[in-house]
Structure 1
Amino acid sequence: MPTDTGARWIDRDWDVGTEEFEATGGGDASEAQFWNQYAVSLHWVMAQLTLGAMDVAPRSSFERMFAVLLLVVAMIGGTSGMSVMSAKIVQMSMVGQKRTQNLLDAQAFLRQEKIPPELCLQVQRQLMDRMNKPERFDESFVPSLTTVSKSLQLQVKHAIRFPVVTKHALFRTWYTIDKKALWDLCGRAVAFSFLQTEDDLFFAGESASSMYYIDTGRLTYVQNPSTSM
């Protein structure tokens, strides 16, 4: 590494056990150039601000500027890392507080309405189970998508729905006959319903307004004795 003082950080005495080694070179501080004095001052200030004191002391302007550069990088990286960690901790704390508050509100409501203990346990169990699962949503929950053009919105809907729709043999055949009709179907007449465990899709006796097609998961049909034939 080049030096403007004639000395480097390795130019010092080293004690190893009982033997002493002396590196050659060196420089008189009184003869140091103005640039080296400025670099020493800047390095000292940065070390005080970042607690960057170190055993290996630079002995030239180039070594000091390199050390200052590393301190700046460490300071920026450290503050950025601390900011990210702090934001993540605050976010996790807020999410935990929200879940706890939701459970407390549900418990207070159930006690207020004098719900039987067995039913209260079922409600609380299902609440805790669903709070721990990630929630899925469709494009209606993303308002920013409404700012793009209608044609681009239709393309997004088609990209999402087409792979699901064409899993059914009827729609695959329809696609070979009329591609445009299936395109319009995907963009205008197909909607997703994201159900969780023990959710109800429909009830006996209700008039059907849609055709349901299961993409993933399993649907269980349950007969209620009061409504079954």
Structure 2
Amino acid sequence: MGDAIPMSDYTTIVARVAQMMSILLYLNHVIACFFFATSKLTEGEKTWTDEYLLTTKHWTDQYAVALHWSLTQFTPASMDVQPQNSVERCYAISVVIFALVGFSYVVGDISSCLTQLRNMSETSSKEFRKLRNFMRMHKVPRQLALRVTKFAEHAYSKQVKAMPMSKVTLLSLVSEQLLGELTFEMNKPHLIIHPLFENMEHNATLVLQRICTKALVTKQLAHNDFLFVAGEQATYMHFLSSGMLLYKKGDTHKEYVQANEDWVTETALWLQSWELLGTAEALGESVIVSIDADIFLHVVESSSNSLIRMVQMYARRFAVWLNELPLHELSDVIQGDLVTDKIRSFIPETLVRSASGSTPT
């Protein structure tokens, strides 16, 4: 269940405590049932049900007394019900011996879980206390300090929930191909909105996995943070995985970049030099998935000849389309809902089939 249901560290630890408590209650239920059974195994001898006048009581009363007795064998608590014959006494001794080990194990596990919960709370409190002290010592303006702290709280809570790959030590032991598959599956929804990457998913999956492993960079932006400003050189192609960007070009041109719908600065992949025409600013906390242009080209150059030809043909057609646009229509943002079909037409179908292993027509 823990593998099937996505849970935070806090929820996992609480679930572990609940699991150990359930095991403890189930064991006590079984022990109570056997304790009640001992009163039926000794014919002619005095039993605990006789001694405490329980033989005429309803079975629920008898079970409650037996369960109470069972629980006291695992804890320092006591009760007035005691074994009355040798069979009951031997059973009680065996339960006490078992409880010495079983109870210690269960209590130790629960204590360990509670200690982890306490440590998690103390760690976050300590780090945020250090951050506030840092702001105060360096006399950071109050408004800026508030923005930094607020974003740090947001980023910390998101990191705890999402758990980035860098925090999982065991992933360093995984093979490059498996790591590529994992990274690709995590980022696929953001990339395949672009027709070229959608085609590569079906026809050059391994190459796309290598791109995800080597060329992909994830960054977070706080509200009003800039992704880029006009006049800079484009070196990354950007996808928005969450949040929203406001793109401004000049005094009048504005565009909104939607998550998993639009993409930004694709020109960085295909042109030797592209000076950014406008400024992209985050509206609220946003997460950006970026592809390093140089590493992307290096990975593609190491792939099959058919895939290289396909990408070259796409790049030429994209550049021709860009040159044909009027100057006032040029933008660093590509609105996926408007031009996806046009972008898809740049992909040569025959080379796509060839890259996937079919015979080109």
TM-score when normalising by structure 2: 0.42
Q: Distance in 1 between matches of 2:240 and 2:142?
A: 35
Report the alpha carbon displacement of residue 221 of structure 1 after superposing the two structures with TM. 2.0
Report the alpha carbon displacement of residue 70 of structure 1 after superposing the two structures with TM. 4.4
Report the alpha carbon displacement of residue 75 of structure 1 after superposing the two structures with TM. 5.0
Structure 1 residues 98 and 164: alpha-carbon distance in aligned structure 2, compared to 1, 3 A threshold? same
Report the alpha carbon displacement of residue 158 of structure 1 after superposing the two structures with TM. 4.1
Look up the SS of the partner of 1:93 in the other structure: helix
Q: Confirm or deny that 1:152 pairs with 2:191.
A: no
Q: Distance in 2 between matches of 1:180 and 1:149?
A: 14
Q: Distance in 2 between matches of 1:156 and 1:117?
A: 42
2:183–2:213 CA contact under 8 A, matched in 1: yes
Look up the SS of the partner of 2:166 in the other structure: helix
Q: Given the alignment, which residue of 216, 219, 224 partners 2:244?
A: 219
CA offset digits 1:155-195 (Å, max 9, x no partner): 43344344553344332233344444434434443x25253
1:157–1:187 CA contact under 8 A, matched in 2: yes
2:190–2:239 CA contact under 8 A, matched in 1: no
* Partner amino acid, structure 2, of 1:211: M
Report the alpha carbon displacement of residue 59 of structure 1 after superposing the two structures with TM. 2.5
CA offset digits 1:137-168 (Å, max 9, x no partner): 44333332222334433443344344553344
Partner of 1:90: 115
Partner of 1:3: 42
Look up the SS of the partner of 1:64 in the other structure: helix
Look up the SS of the partner of 2:53 in the other structure: strand
Q: Distance in 2 between matches of 1:53 and 1:89?
A: 26
* Partner amino acid, structure 1, of 2:167: F
Structure 1 residues 222 and 5: alpha-carbon distance in aligned structure 2, compared to 1, 3 A threshold? farther
2:184–2:209 CA contact under 8 A, matched in 1: yes
CA offset digits 1:11-45 (Å, max 9, x no partner): 33639xxxxx9xxxxxxxxxxxxxxxxxxxxxxxx
Partner of 1:63: 88
The sequence identity of aligned pairs, in percent, is 22
Q: Distance in 1 between matches of 2:102 and 2:125?
A: 34
Q: Count residues in correspondence.
A: 198
Structure 1 residues 209 and 138: alpha-carbon distance in aligned structure 2, compared to 1, 3 A threshold? farther
1:8–1:59 CA contact under 8 A, matched in 2: yes
Report the alpha carbon displacement of residue 220 of structure 1 after superposing the two structures with TM. 1.8
Q: Confirm or deny that 1:122 pairs with 2:147.
A: yes
1:3–1:62 CA contact under 8 A, matched in 2: yes
Partner of 1:207: 233
1:5–1:60 CA contact under 8 A, matched in 2: no
1:181-200 to 2 correspondence within 5 Å?
181-189=207-215, 191=216, 193=218, 195=220, 197-198=222-223, 200=225
Report the alpha carbon displacement of residue 3 of structure 1 after superposing the two structures with TM. 2.9
Q: Distance in 2 between matches of 1:210 and 1:163?
A: 18
* Partner amino acid, structure 2, of 1:12: E
Q: Confirm or deny that 1:106 pairs with 2:145.
A: no
TM-score when normalising by structure 1: 0.61
Structure 1 residues 111 and 223: alpha-carbon distance in aligned structure 2, compared to 1, 3 A threshold? farther
2:47–2:84 CA contact under 8 A, matched in 1: yes
Structure 1 residues 166 and 124: alpha-carbon distance in aligned structure 2, compared to 1, 3 A threshold? closer
Report the alpha carbon displacement of residue 56 of structure 1 after superposing the two structures with TM. 2.6
2:184–2:212 CA contact under 8 A, matched in 1: yes
Q: Distance in 2 between matches of 1:140 and 1:158?
A: 15
